[in-house]
Amino acid sequence: MAAEIEFAAVPIKVTVNGVKHEAVVEPRTLLVYFLREHLNLTGAHVGCDTSQCGACTIQLNGRAVKSCTILAVQANEAEITTVEGLAREGVLHPVQEGFREKHGLQCGYCTPGMIMTAVSLLETNPNPTEEEIRHGLEGNLCRCTGYINIVESIRWAAEKMGGKNVSR
């Protein structure tokens, strides 16, 4: 019978969606599981277990990252934004609104990751072309759509934002 390996718990401090959190985690805990299981923020999904689908995308210190590729301890002292933190005072972020208005989802499983990737894209390129949007989404997979409405949702948001960064 194989011996069970014990891991020493590690304290971490993170700010998630503007709220400071302190926790003790096992060193092997992935950030996506910390967000889902410790903080009950279930918007980031685990879709592939290989970091290829993008369903777990969040912002870590202002950069879109796949939270299934990062350990929670690596996020110590970080600023994290999840899809739950995009809306302000009950008002959807323009990208969230775009996905609703332009029907950019079907089953919705990939949608939080698509939205978080799109927010980062529009922060760096406020007026992307269709080709730039499609290139920006290359790390995110949708198994339901042909991406047409997803691209239209992001274009709609870019127009609504008028080239301005509204995330922060």
Q: What is the pLDDT of residues 18-62, one digit of tens each?
A: 999 999 999 999 999 999 999 999 999 999 878 899 999 999 999
Fold of the 10-85 domain: Ubiquitin-like (UB roll) (3.10.20)
* Strands annotated E in the chain: 10-16, 19-25, 57-60, 63-66, 79-81
Mean pLDDT of the chain: 93
- CA distances 161 to 26, 57, 91, 125, Å, are 41, 22, 14, 12
pLDDT mean over 146-155: 95
pLDDT band at 4; cut points 50, 70, 90: confident
Percent of the residues in the chain that have a pLDDT greater than 70, as a whole number:
95
More confident residue, 167 or 73: 73
Residues in Cβ contact with 130 at an 8 Å cutoff, skipping those fewer than 6 apart? 151, 155
Cite the residue boundaries of each domain of the chain with CATH code 3.10.20.30. 10-85
Per-residue pLDDT, 165:
58
Query: What topology does CATH give the domain 94-161?
Result: DNA polymerase; domain 1 (1.10.150)
pLDDT at position 168 over 50:
no
Summarize the confidence of residues 4-25 as an average pLDDT: 92
Q: Which of 46-50, 72-76, 119-123, 153-157 has the lowest mean pLDDT?
A: 46-50
Averaged pLDDT for residues 66-72: 97
Phi, psi angles (nearest 5°) of residue 18? 85, 0
The owner of tokens 């079907």 is 106
The amino acid that residue 162 corresponds to is G
Residues of the chain with CATH 1.10.150.120: 94-161
